[in-house]
Structure 1
Amino acid sequence: MSENELIGTIYSQLLEEFGFGYIEKDLWMIAENLSEKIVNEQPQLNENQQSLINWMQENECYTGDPLESISDLFLEATPSDRFPDLPLSCVEAAYQSLNNQQKMELVSEYLKQYSEQEG
C-alpha cells in the first residue's frame, strides 16, 4: 500500500468514525500525520534482507511450507565447518552480514508477507 493510499484509508476511517464533528481538512491532516508515523516506524529492509526474503519465497514454492523456508535459510546460510576455506555462497554472505535484530526483522517481514498472501 502506498503512502497516499494509506492516507486515504485513514482519512476514510476518520471521516466515517467522527464524521461531521470535525472539519474535513483537520481529518486529512490527522490522516497524513498518522500515515507518516506508520511508514517511518516500520523497519525498512536492507538489500540483503530483501534478497533473503526473495530466496525464501522461491524456496517456499517448492515446499509450500513457510516454516520450512525459514529452516532451510538457516541451513543454507550457515557456512560449513568442514570446508572453512570455501568462499561463501550468496545466501551465506547475505545472512552472515545481518545482526540479530536484522535477522528477526527478516523473519517477521517474511511471515507477514506470507500471511498477507494467504489471507
Structure 2
Amino acid sequence: MSAEAGWGWARAIQPAGGTGQHAGPHETFAHPLKARIVDSQRHAPVADVAVTFSWDTMSQQALFEGDEATAQVRTDAQGYAQSPQLVAGDAAGTAVFTVTAEGAAPERFEVTVDH
C-alpha cells in the first residue's frame, strides 16, 4: 500500500535519543542520534531496515565522526538504529538532520553547537 493510495505510511520513525542535545565547538556530542522504526498499524518494531541519517544544514555545525554528512545503519531486533558519534564544528547554531527509512515519512532531528 502506498501513501498516494491514501493509506498512509507503512512505518513510522520515532526519535529515540540524541536530538535536542548541546555541545561546544569541536566537542563530541554526548549521545549519537537514535531512531526507532515501527510498523504504523501495530506499532511493533521493524528489524533489519536501512535507516539514513543525513545532515541537511549548509554550515559546518555538526558532522558524524570522519567528517561524514550521511550515515546509514540497519535497525536491530527492537527496531533501533543508532548513528555514529556526532562532532560539533566551529560555528555556533543548530544542525538539522533528516532521518529516513523506506516506507516511513522523514523525521527531523536537531542538535545545537553552543558558543
TM-score of the superposed pair, with normalisation by structure 1: 0.23
Answer with 1 or 2: which has the greater Rg. 1
TM-score of the superposed pair, with normalisation by structure 2: 0.23
Q: Compare the two structures and name the one with the higher strand fraction.
A: 2
Q: Compare the two structures and name the one with the higher helix fraction.
A: 1
Q: Does 1 or 2 have the higher relative contact order (CA < 8 Å, sep 6+)?
A: 2
